């Protein structure tokens, strides 16, 4: 007797289509560090500043989302909400002149590397006062003076460039290292593998960091890539690590060790930081690919709540101090919105500016 033939399946089946009703999390969080900030070499002021920066990123984006929904600006808006511990822990671990480059989920990175709420919001609004003069928008925040080389919109496209920043640092022998951040979706791009091979072969001082937030747009990690992400490093003989990205102190602790080591021996590192994206991929995402239960579970590990509670538990700040910081940030963000609204749009002539560092040339321009 011929058996009933089953239809072929290619991509593994996702949470909401699963027939066995099993709830499988898209990403498993390794435990957070148990060390106190002082043990890690951070002062009380440092950890307060960490909270301040994280709360700024959170409120900046929550307000940006409102403005977007009100139709104040167009384009894409990819929110970093839920991942703020990664950017924050990292900038504290790096030297100020170490390079950072990231993908399009870049607002948080800009805010921790010197872009003011005003310049950031104005960029979202497409204003001349924006950090990229309104030429880049949400996906292309940058502050190259402070070694933030920008957000990039082609998945995996900036990974070789991150390798190139490290190449330059080695060439110039300037003691700087480069860090290149991207999402779990970019792990599947060939550009990563070409760059990892050369980085290891050429001993480039670069840290490749996967911010594994569980989803490549709407496709869960287990549905788009094989095996554990950090294990890819093994194929290149590259040092690797995997840690919790929902706790800023854990990110700091690990990134500090890694950065010091990369600086010391000029060899690359491949890091998987596990985190979670609370919002959709972009604003137009109905999020049918994940369950409410999963989102709620990760919201219990909210990195901003966590550091806030830490400050209280360790008696670094009183509730009233924290509220004062929060109120100030709220004002800063509201002021940024006013600033963005009142700022001028780029002048029409600016369409032709910033194309060339040398002599400009525009074919057939009258």
Partner 1 sequence: MAVLQFREALRDAIDEEMARDEMVFIMGEEVAEYNGAYKVTEGLLDKYGFKRVIDTPISELGFSGIGVGAAMKGLRPIVEFMTFNFAVLAADQIINHASKVRYMLGGQASVPIVFRGPNASAGQLGATHSVAYDSMYAHFPGLSVIYPSEPDDAKGLLKSAIRSEDPVLFMESEQMYGLKGEVSEEDDYIIPIGKGKIKREGDDVTIIASGKMYHVVKQAAEQLAKDGVEAEVIDPRTIKPFDIEMVIESVKKTNRCVIVDEAHPFGGLAAEAGFLIQREAFDYLDAPVQRVTLPDVCAPFAKNLFDIWLPDAKQVIEAVNTVTYRN
Residues forming contacts to partner 1 in the complex (CB under 8 A) are: 99, 101, 130-136, 140, 142-145, 149-150, 152, 154, 157-169, 171-172, 178, 190-191, 194-195, 197-198, 201-202, 353-358, 361-364
**Do the Cβ atoms of 301 and 81 come closer than 8 Å?**
no
Assign 102 to helix, strand or coil.
strand
**Could you tell me the smallest distance in angstroms from the CB atom of residue 362 to partner 1?**
7
Task: Report in angstroms how near the CB of residue 300 gets to partner 1 at its nearest.
Answer: 38
Shortest Cβ 158–partner 1 spacing (Å):
8
Pairing of the two strands 215-216 and 219-220: antiparallel
Q: Which H helix or E strand runs over 148?
A: strand 148-151
Q: What is the DSSP annotation of 206-249?
A: EEEEEEE-SEETTEEHHHHS-S-GGGGGGGGT-EEEEEESS-HH
For residues 19 and 365, which CB has a smaller minimum distance to partner 1 in the complex? Answer: 365
DSSP 273: E
Q: Which residue, 101 or 304, is less far from partner 1 as judged by CB?
A: 101
Question: C-beta of 354: minimal distance to partner 1 in Å?
Answer: 4
> Least Å distance between CB 35 and partner 1?
34
Comparison of 198 and 217: residue with beta carbon closer to partner 1: 198
Nearer to partner 1, 176 or 212 (CB): 176
B/e letters for 340-351, b = 16+ CB within 10 Å, e = fewer, are: beebeebeeeee
Say how far apart CA 199 and CA 206 lie, in whole Å. Answer: 7
Q: Are 101 and 152 in contact (CB under 8 A)?
A: yes
Cβ nearer to partner 1, comparing 13 with 154: 154
Q: How far is the CB of 136 from partner 1 (least distance, A)?
A: 4
């Amino acid at each position: 007797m011929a058996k009933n033939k089953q239809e072929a399946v290619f991509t593994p089946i996702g949470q909401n289509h699963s027939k066995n009703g099993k709830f499988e999390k898209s990403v498993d969080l390794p435990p957070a560090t148990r060390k106190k900030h002082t043990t890690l070499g951070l002062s009380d002021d440092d950890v307060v500043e960490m909270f301040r920066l994280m709360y700024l990123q959170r409120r900046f984006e929550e307000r940006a989302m409102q403005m977007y929904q009100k139709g104040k600006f167009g384009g894409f808006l990819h929110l970093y909400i839920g991942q703020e511990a990664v950017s924050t822990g990292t900038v504290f671990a790096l030297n100020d002149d170490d390079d950072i480059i990231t993908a399009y989920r870049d607002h948080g990175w800009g805010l921790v590397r010197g872009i003011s709420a005003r310049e950031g919001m104005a960029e979202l609004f497409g204003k001349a006062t924006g950090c990229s003069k309104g030429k880049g928008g949400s996906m292309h925040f940058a502050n190259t003076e402070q070694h933030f080389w920008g957000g990039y919109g082609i998945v995996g496209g900036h990974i070789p460039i991150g390798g190139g920043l490290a190449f330059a640092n080695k060439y110039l022998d300037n003691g700087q290292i480069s860090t290149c951040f991207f999402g779990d979706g970019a792990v599947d791009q060939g550009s990563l593998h070409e760059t990892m091979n050369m980085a290891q072969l050429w001993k480039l001082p670069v840290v490749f960091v996967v911010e594994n937030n569980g989803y490549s747009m709407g496709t869960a990690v287990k549905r788009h890539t094989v095996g554990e992400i950090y294990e890819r490093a093994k194929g290149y003989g590259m040092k690797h690590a995997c840690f919790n990205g929902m706790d800023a102190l854990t990110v700091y602790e690990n990134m500090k060790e890694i950065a010091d080591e990369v600086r010391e021996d000029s060899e690359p590192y491949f890091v998987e930081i596990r985190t979670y994206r609370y919002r959709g991929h972009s604003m137009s995402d109905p999020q049918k690919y994940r369950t409410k239960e999963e989102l709620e579970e990760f919201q219990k590990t909210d990195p901003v709540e966590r550091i806030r509670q830490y400050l209280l538990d360790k008696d670094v700040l009183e509730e009233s101090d924290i509220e004062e910081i929060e109120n100030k940030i709220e004002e800063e963000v509201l002021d940024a919105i006013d600033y963005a609204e009142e700022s001028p749009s780029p002048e029409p002539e600016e369409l032709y500016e910033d194309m060339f560092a040398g002599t400009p040339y525009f074919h057939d321009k009258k």
